[in-house]
Every structure is written in structure tokens, then in C-alpha cells.
């Protein structure tokens, strides 16, 4: 791994704002971002990356690589929660094992954004279809986790656990709908007309990302104590799972593309963990799962690990 790339990534202003958020919480500062503002910024980030990805996809020929990339994304989102669940259910309750499996099988849109910025710093761009791959990887992980729950745990009386109900919730979740809808709009929108909103979709993007990561830093520091009862097991898994999944994606992505930028994004997607769409879906599908376990693991361990170490590591593996 190139040490210079690691140092450059650690000095990225967006990452430093994440650190500032952690520090603000540790020193008990009254610094906070209003909840409504955070929700708006999260929707903005999804809107922006979806729209820009759609614009790139519109100018890209639908090739064999694009189709197989979509298939690989769905495959990774199905395989990862499967083996993660069977690995964890020996140590954790079935509901908690399924929740962590779903989170790790799904993706983090903010980590995806950071990967895009990382590539820009290297003077490279991913294919526009990779946004579609990211959006596609949300629902399969949730569906697999629910199927495992139905197989290994008795549902609560009156609880709706049907696959159709779960898939509907996964696909109509606000974050999923925003990025998929923006992707479609970006793909069908006229390029000249789209230039009119370019200042909003592009120019202010990094500033909003920095503010969002500031809030993520505050939330992360607040939730660290939630899983101390599990000892070192959960923090260790929060690092080991993304490493294993990222390396798996580096290897498997070689089957569908030779583009190092796209292979890097596959590794980032496979190595990231969802803390937005999956928790929202699991509140309905897995009410017995402990949010104080899988959310801090994804947000407090896997997310900062990927931002600080995972990105340059995956890039180094792709180019090895």
C-alpha cells in the first residue's frame, strides 16, 4: 500500500471533519447539527450521486461489462450476508446475527461518495453504471437476512415477515428511492438542461459531505459505549469483515472488468456496511435485533476504518 496515498487520505478535509465530530463529543461540546438538516444533507448526497451517475450512464453504452457488473453486485449482496450470518449466529442471537449480516451485505452511500472523491484525487473516474450497482446492492442483503430469520427464529405474533412485504419496504425506503429515482432521472434528462443544476449537484457537494461527516463523527462517539458489553468481538468483526469482503470483491470483480477504478469501487461497496437503509428496514423486519449493536458497528467501526485505511488498502490491492 502506498504510504503517500494513505497520508493523503488521512488529511482529506472531509475525513478531518469526521474527526472533529468525534472530538466535539469527547470534550462534551454543545456542537450539533439539527436532525432536519442532517436528513436534508443525506438526501442531497443521494440525489447528487444518483443524478450524476445517471448522467454518466446515459452516455455509456450498455455493454456486457455493465450487465455483468450489475449481476456481480447482486451476487455479492446475497453471498456476504449468507456467510456472515452463519459465522455470527454461534456467538450472537439469531436476530442480531441477521441484522449484522444485512448491514454488511448492503452498502454505505457515504463511503461510496468518499471512494468517488478518492478516485478523483487519483485523476480517475468510475463508470456511471457503478451507481446503479450500488443502488442494486441494498435490497438483496435485506431479503437474505429476513429469509434467514424466517428459517432460524420464530416470528412475533402478527409480525409481517413475508418476503414481498420486506422487499417492498427495502425498495421504497427513502434513501433507496432517492438514489434509484435520481439515477433514472439523470439517465433520461437532457444533458444541456442538466447543466442548469450542475452548480447544485457538483460545486457544493464536498462542502455538504464535510458537514454530514461532522455529524457522523458526533453520532459515532456517542454510540461507542452501546456495544462494550460484547467485548472485543464486535469491534474486531467491524474491521475483519470489510477486509475479507473487500478482498473478495477485488478478486471477483476481475471476472467482469479490467478497469481499476471500477474494481476499486466494487471492493469499497463490498467492504462497506449500511447504517441508513438497513436499520430503517430492520425496524420492521427484525424488531428483536439490537440497534445498539449493528448500527454502532457499521457507523463507529467499519465506516471510519474504510475511510481512513480501507480506501487506500483496496486501491493498493487492485493495482498490485
Computed on alpha carbons and rounded to an integer, the radius of gyration of the chain in Å comes to 19
| CB neighbour class for 158 (10 Å; exposed up to 12, middle 13-18, buried from 19) | exposed
pLDDT at 269 over 80: yes
pLDDT at 278 over 50: yes
The count of residues in the chain is 320
Distant-in-sequence, close-in-space partners of 275: CB < 8 Å, separation ≥ 6: 103, 108, 295, 298, 299, 303
Alpha helices by DSSP H, listed for 59-162, are: 64-88, 94-105, 109-121, 129-136, 138-152
Q: Which three cell numbers stand for residue 26?
A: 469527547
Which of helix, strand or coil describes residue 189?
A: coil
Return the domain boundaries, the chain: 3-318
Q: How far is 188 from 225, CA to CA, in rounded Å?
A: 46
Q: Which of 74, 73, 100 is nearest to 85 (CA)?
A: 100
Q: Which three cell numbers stand for residue 164?
A: 414481498
Q: Residue 307's pLDDT band (boundaries 50, 70, 90)?
A: confident
pLDDT at 5 over 60: no
What is the CB-side half-sphere exposure of residue 192 using CA atoms within 13 A?
0
Contact 298, 275 (CB under 8 A): yes
Q: Which three cell numbers stand for residue 272?
A: 462497506
pLDDT tens across 154-204, in order? Answer: 655 655 556 676 667 666 767 677 877 888 898 888 878 888 888 888 788
Contact 52, 252 (CB under 8 A): no
- What's this model's pTM, rounded to 2 decimal places? 0.78
Q: Which fold has domain 3-318?
A: Na+/H+ antiporter like fold (1.20.1530)
pLDDT tens across 125-157, in order? Answer: 888 888 888 877 877 888 888 788 877 876 556
Q: Which of 290, 281, 303 is nearest to 235 (CA)?
A: 303
Q: Which of 10, 8, 1, 5 is nearest to 316 (CA)?
A: 1
Amino acid at each position: 500500500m502506498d504510504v503517500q496515498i494513505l497520508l493523503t487520505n488521512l488529511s482529506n478535509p472531509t475525513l478531518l471533519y469526521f474527526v472533529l465530530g468525534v472530538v466535539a463529543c469527547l470534550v462534551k461540546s454543545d456542537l450539533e447539527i439539527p436532525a432536519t438538516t442532517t436528513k436534508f444533507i443525506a438526501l442531497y448526497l443521494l440525489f447528487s450521486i444518483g443524478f450524476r451517475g445517471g448522467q454518466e450512464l446515459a452516455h455509456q453504452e450498455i455493454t456486457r461489462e455493465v450487465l455483468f457488473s450489475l449481476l456481480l453486485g447482486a451476487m455479492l449482496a446475497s453471498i456476504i450476508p449468507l456467510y456472515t450470518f452463519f459465522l455470527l449466529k454461534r456467538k450472537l442471537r439469531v436476530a442480531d446475527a441477521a441484522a449484522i449480516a444485512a448491514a454488511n451485505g448492503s452498502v454505505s452511500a457515504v463511503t461510496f461518495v468518499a471512494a468517488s472523491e478518492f478516485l478523483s484525487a487519483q485523476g480517475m473516474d468510475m463508470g456511471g453504471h457503478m451507481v446503479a450497482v450500488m443502488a442494486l446492492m441494498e435490497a438483496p442483503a435485506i431479503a437474505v437476512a429476513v429469509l434467514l430469520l424466517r428459517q432460524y427464529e420464530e416470528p412475533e405474533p402478527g409480525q409481517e415477515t413475508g418476503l414481498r412485504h420486506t422487499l417492498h419496504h427495502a425498495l421504497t425506503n427513502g434513501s433507496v428511492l432517492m438514489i434509484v429515482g435520481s439515477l433514472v432521472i439523470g439517465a433520461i434528462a437532457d444533458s444541456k438542461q442538466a447543466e442548469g443544476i450542475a452548480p447544485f449537484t457538483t460545486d457544493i457537494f464536498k462542502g455538504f459531505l464535510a458537514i454530514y461527516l461532522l455529524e457522523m463523527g458526533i453520532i459515532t462517539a456517542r454510540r461507542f459505549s452501546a456495544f462494550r458489553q460484547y467485548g472485543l468481538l464486535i469491534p474486531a468483526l467491524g474491521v475483519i469483515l470489510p477486509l475479507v469482503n473487500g478482498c473478495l470483491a477485488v478478486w471477483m470483480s476481475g471476472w467482469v472488468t479490467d478497469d481499476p477504478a471500477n474494481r476499486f469501487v466494487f471492493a469499497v461497496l463490498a467492504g462497506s456496511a449500511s447504517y441508513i437503509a438497513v436499520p430503517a428496514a430492520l425496524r420492521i423486519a427484525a424488531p428483536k435485533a439490537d440497534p445498539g449493536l449493528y448500527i454502532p458497528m457499521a457507523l463507529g467501526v467499519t465506516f471510519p476504518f474504510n475511510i481512513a485505511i480501507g480506501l487506500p488498502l483496496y486501491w493498493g490491492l487492485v493495482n498490485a
